Homo-oligomer: A and B are copies of this chain.
Amino acid sequence: MVDILHRVGVVAPLDDVYTAVATPEGIAAWWTTDTVGKSEVGETLALRFGEAGGFDLEVRELDPAGHVRWRVVEGPAEWIGTDIDWRLDRRGDYTIVLFGHEGWREPVEFMHHCSTKWATFLLSLKDYAETGRGRPAPDDVKISDWH
């Protein structure tokens, strides 16, 4: 089992970052505009990226104090069964985001790609929470032939 790990610091209140991660409206502003579903524990969020497909995420944890966790239940084979974990913490002027995409079975090339791509989405989340403007798909940062 291998994990993708990231950390960014967002100059915004923890509540704002939490709302950006924990609600479909928030996610649509930094990950993909095509995000629907109900953000309650046990419910599912559906994210789509046009022809590239997308993911269904089952909500496992929602704690406004600073913890969100999803299980990937539909999407690319490598993603199914993995968990995406968010921990938020205040430090000085920053809300620190500790991110993990956990439980990949193998460190395949697609995992390398997703690691870099996650970084661009975390910076999109940071921009959105700080300035009101992120770069969700289809306007996301393109990093390679795999987009």
Contact = CB atoms under 8 A, between A and B. Distances in A.
A66 B7 CA distance: 30
B119 A99 contact: no
Nearest to A147: B9
Interface of A: 2-9, 91-94, 96, 98-100, 107, 109, 111-113, 115-116, 119-120, 122-123, 126, 141, 143-146
A6 B100 CA distance: 15
Copies of this chain, tallied across the complex = 2
Contact of A3 (B96, B107, B120, B126): B107
Given A7-B146, A116-B123, 5 more contacts: A4-B115, A7-B116, A98-B112, A119-B120, A120-B123
A8 B112 CA distance: 9
Given A107-B3, A109-B7, A143 B123 contact: yes
Nearest to A126: B143
Given A2-B2, A119-B120, A113 B145 contact: no
